[in-house]
Amino acid sequence: MKNYSPRSNDIFIETQLGIVTRTGDWFHTTSEYIEDFVPGLLEKRPLDKLVEEAIAWVRSADSLSLSLLLGLLLFVHPILAVSIAVAFHFFWYRSKSGFVTVYLGKVLKLMNTDGYLLVTSLVVISFLGMDGQYLAAGTGLVFFFLMKLGLLKMLWDKLDRSTQKELSLNDRVFKMILTKYAMHYNMAPDKVRGMEQKFVDLASSRKGKK
């Protein structure tokens, strides 16, 4: 087995207890475990690319919900638009791992960028303001800052009741990314199933050292 020593860059730091990103997200796996269960995957898809996509999925609820809200504000009352956007945010926060694909992660990386969020918000909010829809424009502006600061995600994080015997939502996403790439490269995806216990063991170790 090829040895992968812990590493760090401007995206993440790898420790014995897992990977922590610069944005503060934890994934309870390491390059060594990935190589154990999907031999050769890191040669096909480097760890930094896998982590980038995992971050994109973890952070995607904000960008998708903001995009949905901005679109809805053009057609429905702001209260209804906010209700739908918040409900979608919670649904996506809880269920995003079930939608992981090899290609959609690249789209989410783009949608999470400041450029996309700022331009889209500026165009829609400016249009609403010029059209005299001040409540809708104000709603879009407030929601933009809520999403930019990740306040809804922080709220759902605090409400998340995953136990030590369960995979965290972040780990479910990372596991699905590994599974999809293993399938994409035809690299025995059944071996990825064994990673679940490794995720849980590392998460439990981290909690035990707090």
pLDDT digit of tens for each residue in the chain (210 aa)? 445 455 667 889 998 888 999 888 889 888 988 888 788 899 999 999 999 999 999 999 999 999 999 999 999 999 999 999 999 999 999 999 999 999 999 999 999 999 999 999 999 999 999 999 999 999 999 999 999 888 998 888 888 765 445 778 999 999 999 989 988 888 765 555 555 566 666 666 665 555
Half-sphere exposure of 152 (CA within 13 A, CB side): 28
Longest dimension (CA), the chain: 65
Give, as one character, the DSSP assignment of residue 132.
T
pLDDT of residue 9: 78
From the centroid of its chain, how far is CA 96? 8
pTM comes to: 0.83
Contact between residue 117 and residue 141 where contact means Cβ atoms under 8 Å apart: no
**Cα dist from 80 to 46, 95, 107, whole Å:** 43, 22, 27
pLDDT of residue 208: 58
From the centroid of its chain, how far is CA 38? 22
